[in-house]
């Protein structure tokens, strides 16, 4: 029997910074869709330095699969570097009220 897990079952939080050709190629929209399909919580945003920043929260297997997917990104993207670190629960406070996963303004 397979149980569907929610992002709060085994909370693991990862904070990632993705560099390369990741803006203007649908990376944020792709990330939002991929995270929601995986039932992850968190957010994604562009940064003024050209990178994309994201936070993913959920069970460890699903979060790691999402981070791995981010190393490829959507078809038009070119990921040159992905930095990953343990995230803190306070990062999830940036999500918009009522949203599991938010696309945030550029910072």
- Between the two ends of the chain, the Cα-to-Cα distance in Å is 43
Q: Give catalytic status of residue 46 as yes or no.
A: yes
CA pair distance 106, 43, nearest whole angstrom: 12
Active-site annotation holder among 14, 38, 45, 46? 46
Question: How many angstroms separate the CA atoms of 47 and 63, rounded?
Answer: 22
Q: Catalytic pick from 28, 38, 45, 100?
A: 28
71 is catalytic: no
Q: CA–CA separation, 71 vs 94, rounded Å? A: 23
Catalytic site residues?
28, 46
């Amino acid at each position: 029997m397979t149980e569907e897990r929610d992002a709060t079952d085994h909370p693991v939080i990862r904070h990632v910074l993705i560099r390369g050709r990741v803006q203007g190629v649908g990376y944020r929209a792709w990330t939002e869709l991929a995270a929601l399909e995986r039932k992850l919580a968190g957010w994604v945003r562009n940064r003024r330095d050209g990178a994309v920043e994201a936070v993913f929260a959920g069970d460890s297997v699903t979060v790691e699969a999402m981070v791995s997917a981010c190393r490829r990104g959507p078809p038009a993207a070119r990921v040159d570097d992905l930095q990953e670190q343990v995230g803190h629960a306070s990062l999830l406070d940036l999500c918009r009220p009522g949203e599991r996963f938010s696309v945030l303004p550029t910072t």
